[in-house]
Amino acid sequence: MMLFFVGAIFGVYLISRFVRLAFGKNKRTYKAALIADSVTLAIATIVGGYGIADGGPPVFQQAFSAYFLPVAIVLAFDLVNAYAISRKTRNEP
């Protein structure tokens, strides 16, 4: 379970970066972080739901619960990063 969690954080982080590049929002702002990570959660839930299904009907609820915490950790990292950058740019002369 711990390896899944670490791998999910790594995978979600990469998907989030690709989403930012695809939307052209590689800016480090709160809005870009929220949009990119929301789309990342949707992608992870859909792909994970079909992956967990293993030939049966998709299990989106289980995929959502599995990927919600890794996406929340990546979102927290992105928001802290955006806060640090906005604070740094405010204090520059």
Percentage of the chain beyond pLDDT 90 is: 67
Task: Give the per-residue pLDDT at 93.
Answer: 59
Q: How many helices and strands in the chain, by DSSP H and E?
A: 3, 0
Q: What pLDDT does residue 91 have? A: 67
Contact 93, 81 (CB under 8 A): no
pLDDT tens-place string over residues 2-36: 899 999 999 999 999 999 888 876 677 888 899 99
Structural domain spans, the chain: 2-91
pLDDT at 86 exceeding the cut of 90: no
Mean pLDDT for the chain overall: 90
Residue-level pLDDT at 92: 62
